[in-house]
Amino acid sequence: MLGPVILAASRSDKMRRFVSAAPGTKQVVDRFIAGETVDQVIPIVKDAAAKGLEVTLDVVGEDITTVEQSHAARDAYLELIGRLKELGLGERAEMSVKLSMFGQALEGGHELALANVRPVVEAAAAIGTTVTLDAEDHTTLDSMFAIHEELRKDFPQTGCVIQAYLFRTEDDARRLAAAGSRVRIVKGAYKEPASVAHQDKAEIDKAFVRIVRILMAGEGYPMIGSHDPRLIAITQELARQAGRKLDEYEFQMLYGIRSEEHVRLAAEGHRMRVYTAYGTDWYGYFMRRLAEKPANLLFFARSILTK
């Protein structure tokens, strides 16, 4: 019940101002956001590498309103890639991007987002790594998939995300499960209407399993983005049935969530990638994390009230 209310609040400027200014917010935000600057996130990449983990780095900030901000988003990723190159961390860290941050929702946004993301994908490829296009709300996905297809002509390793809660996703999975593709499957984190998405958790889980089965049977590289122990166990079994070796798919989890599980799966020989978000414009990302688990909201409310 609370999830949709929090997701609605994630679109409200009034709530954004309230939450950002509330005492106690920072303490809770720090659990999910790895830092504000590149300098703060680099030690986290090194620490993950020391634990046998890989990362995908996300510079937060989807709610932009000007072309200049979309250029700043591109430049923030280019700065990050430059630092990874200097430090020789390129092969350890991938990038995750939200096309909204690259201007997708502005006028002429499809072309603008493509023009902004291309140099990032190019720079990532030059240091031996790659970029995955995150999936946002369902109205943005045709554009995201078209940009993904365009980028893959020159950079076939570019990944994309599909969301199990959407009715369309099994078809998308079949189309994407081709040789050389990299596809992250997640449950889905946005507030979607019943006309396009399953609303029931059990239905979403069942769809997730059907989609993992499609990806495992295909020729691409499945990336399983979930903290759900049951779905992780089912994925392991489906990978085994499909005859996949441990390096022919990977698990991904979010920074700050079930961290002991990151290390456990890596120790079992799985490739485990931690989605590590950083930056100053953390509001939308943070609110989706609150919506996923009501206990987070209670913790958040308590930390505000006790400050």
Residues with catalytic roles: 134, 184
- CB-CB contact of 77 with 94 (8 Å): no
Binding status of residue 232 toward ligand FAD by CB under 6 A: no
Beta strands in 108-147 (DSSP E): 131-133
Give, as ranges, the residues between 99 and 158 that touch ligand FAD (CB under 6 A).
134-135
Stretch touching ligand FAD by CB under 6 A, among 21-29, 39-47, 122-130, 285-293: 285-293
Contact with ligand FAD (CB under 6 A): which of 119, 292, 303, 304? 292
Stretch touching ligand FAD by CB under 6 A, among 4-12, 111-119, 121-129, 291-299: 291-299
Report the C-alpha gap between 28 and 305 in whole angstroms: 13
Least CB distance from residue 6 to ligand FAD, whole Å?
11
Stretch touching ligand FAD by CB under 6 A, among 71-79, 105-113, 144-152, 226-234: 226-234
Binding status of residue 192 toward ligand FAD by CB under 6 A: no
Q: Please, what is the angle between helix 2-9 and helix 294-305, to 10°?
A: 60
Which positions ≥6 away from 190 have C-beta within 8 Å? 7, 136, 137, 138, 163, 288
Binding status of residue 168 toward ligand FAD by CB under 6 A: no
Report the C-alpha gap between 236 and 249 in whole angstroms: 10
Q: How many beta carbons lie within 10 A of that of residue 34, not counting itself?
A: 24
Binding status of residue 226 toward ligand FAD by CB under 6 A: yes
- The residue written with tokens 């590498």 in the block is 49
Query: Collapsing DSSP states into helix, strand and coil, what is residue 191?
Result: coil
Task: Give the interface with ligand FAD as residue ranges (CB under 6 A).
Answer: 134-135, 161, 163, 186-190, 225-228, 252-254, 257-258, 275, 289, 292-293, 296
